[in-house]
Amino acid sequence: MKKIIATLLALTMVVSLAACGGSSDKKSESNNSASTTQDTDTTTLRINLASEPGYLDPALNSSVDGACLAVNSFVGLYVYDENSQLQPALSDGEPEVSEDGLTYTFKLIESKWSNGEELTANDFVYSWNRAVAPETAADYAYMFTPIATNDDGTLQVEAVDDYTLKVQLVSPCAYFLDLVASPTYLPVYQPEVEAANPDGTTPGAWAQEAGFVSNGAFTLESWTHDESMVYVKNPNYYRADDVKLEKLEFMLSADDTAIYAAYNAGDLDFADTVPTDEVGNLLDNPEFNIIDTLGTYYVCFNVGSSMFDGLTAEQAAKMRTALSLLIDRQYIVDTVGQTGQVPADTFIPDGMADGNGGVFEASDFGYYDATQTGSGKVEEAIALLEDCGYSFEEDGNGGYTISPALTLTYLTNSGTGHEAIAQCIQQDWGLVGIDVKVETEEWNVFLEDRKAGNYDIARNGWIADFNDPINMLEMWLSGGGNNDTQLGTSKSASAPKWDEYDALINEIYTETDFAKRAELMREAEDMLMDTGAIVPLYYYNDIYLQKPNVTGIYASLNQNKYFMYAEKTAE
């Protein structure tokens, strides 16, 4: 049955590809593999990352594509290099760190905003305090938790002088320099931010149109919403002499078949997505790149959903766990992912550091078994669903009927890969008689609905912002901006109590024994996974297409793409 569905999916995608053309009259050399047709304008790089970005404000962005735009148009104290190693940027070398590890003093280099004004330590003080201010409502405000706060809630960050920034931490933080390299810690230009938001109700208004002040390698010159963006070189960038390109042109689209057609036609030099049915054809193509990353593709449940009405918190967790057990992760990896992704049994990805000099060792939750064949752990899942009040009868076709009838709605954003995974899950749950409706939304609408809890079950993914498990765990704090599951927020009787988890994360923040800290993080992940609200499917790797006449693009382990030092030749 799965082979039939996979064939139908492939046929559907081929038809879609034939129906969608690029923006050029040039034709692709091949329908089955990436073309070497390439643009010869050596001053301009043509790129697709995703569709219309939700936010260009570094403090408000919470998407990978938005982060990519941020790191190319803003720069902070530190940055990742082509080897994913941290390097000083606006910090003049390594900071001075106190003996107790609590005070960081950064000496800043002299640099300018794109409008020519001096950038000083006060810009960091303003920007970081703005990011944690309640009125900004930044999803990533919790990333400033390692910094001590004053009685009024402001951060203990001080501009000693124009080029000296002093930061006081709550406890030693092994990943603090990773934090200052993240988009959330990037500086923003105070006069413009405040002028665009006089009444304090629209904190991101200043970056909703082209022309705003930034300090990175490129500035946004024009923006045709839902269609294109043009960034131009910033002559005031601190390494402007190393920037060879004059312009970045972005195609805004989530239609991966249209994107692929544009790439083959030579209208794109770089594409961050590939239609699922083309992946197998591209594996040996030198223009197709597969790189390591730290992240997990997963399904999340809204713990306050009406689908759990009438169940206890324990029964609701069993129901979610049963649905997780039914998913055949290996089949998804083999037929949809196709690039060597590892099926996931835990939320924290393989290979993540433990913050104590080793690799984090997670518990075995039993959702995935490498020796498993066929669709999920059906008998184990049925037993859990029976504990929730459901009964089953064999249907004579290798499946089951469920009573009472159960209909679920699975929400995803558009994209051939996401939609193919949704159909795999639809089939796996259908094996036990569950009727699954798949709903697809445009990217920004999808993000807002998921964040607001306007869903029952949704596809999700998390790329680590830095290489420490706390980044995968702190997002589930009650009221956290990225806590799409509504854990700790939902008042439903079937939602788990979450005070103990919040207390555990706050204990991790202040634990100075790094070995004990690693144990506490393992305990926190166990608590998270016991809710069944998170269903890990596989650990990400990252794929993209890049023309052979382009060099110098690099990516970090958190999938940020850096275009500022790219070069493009005519051949």
Q: Tens digits of per-residue pLDDT, 406-446?
A: 999 999 999 999 999 999 999 999 999 999 999 999 999 99
Query: Mean pLDDT, to the nearest integer, of 499-514?
Result: 95
pLDDT for 321 beyond 60: yes
Query: Mean pLDDT, to the nearest integer, of 153-160?
Result: 98
The pLDDT of residue 34 is 64
pLDDT for 371 beyond 80: no
Band (365; pLDDT cuts 50, 70, 90): confident
Q: Which residues neighbour 8 within 8 Å (Cβ) at sequence distance 6 or greater?
A: none
Q: Looking at 310-314, 447-451, 555-559, which range is the least confident one?
A: 555-559
The pLDDT of residue 39 is 85
Band (382; pLDDT cuts 50, 70, 90): very high
Q: What are residue 108's DSSP bridge partners?
A: 91
pLDDT for 140 beyond 70: yes
Each residue's pLDDT tens digit, 177-211 = 999 999 999 999 999 999 999 999 999 999 999 99
Q: Indicate the pTM of the whole model.
A: 0.85
From 265, 228, 234, select the one nearest 249 (Cα to Cα): 228
The pLDDT of residue 418 is 96
CA distance 147 to 167: 7
Band (221; pLDDT cuts 50, 70, 90): very high
pLDDT for 25 beyond 50: no
Is 529 buried (19+), middle (13-18) or exposed (0-12) by CB count in 10 A? buried
Pull the structure tokens for residue 402: 């469920």
The pLDDT of residue 20 is 31
Check if the beta carbon of residue 115 is closer than 8 Å to that of residue 211: no
From 565, 72, 488, 546, select the one nearest 289 (Cα to Cα): 546
Query: Mean pLDDT, to the nearest integer, of 25-47?
Result: 67
pLDDT for 350 beyond 60: yes
User: Does an H or E element contain 331, and which?
Assistant: helix 329-332
Q: What is the mean pLDDT of the chain?
A: 91
From 455, 474, 454, 477, select the one nearest 466 (Cα to Cα): 474
| Residue 534: CB atoms within 10 Å | 24
Residue 437 DSSP SS3: strand
3-state secondary structure 123-182: HHHHHHHHHHCCCCCCCCHHHHCCECECCCCCECEEEEECCEEEEEECCCCCCHHHHHCC
Q: Looking at 17-21, 384-388, 467-471, which range is the least confident one?
A: 17-21
Is 281 buried (19+), middle (13-18) or exposed (0-12) by CB count in 10 A? middle
| Residue 516: CB atoms within 10 Å | 13
CA distance 488 to 496: 7
Residue 424 DSSP SS3: helix
CA 474 to chain centre: 15
Query: Mean pLDDT, to the nearest integer, of 285-307?
Result: 96
Query: Mean pLDDT, to the nearest integer, of 338-367?
Result: 90
CA distance 345 to 329: 9
Q: Provide the percentage of residues in the chain whose pLDDT is more than 70.
A: 92
CA distance 125 to 133: 12
Q: What is the DSSP letter of 365?
A: -
Band (36; pLDDT cuts 50, 70, 90): low
The pLDDT of residue 35 is 62
Query: Mean pLDDT, to the nearest integer, of 162-183?
Result: 96
The pLDDT of residue 171 is 94
CA distance 529 to 535: 8
391 or 375, which is more confident? Answer: 391
CA distance 199 to 183: 25
Pull the structure tokens for residue 125: 């003080």
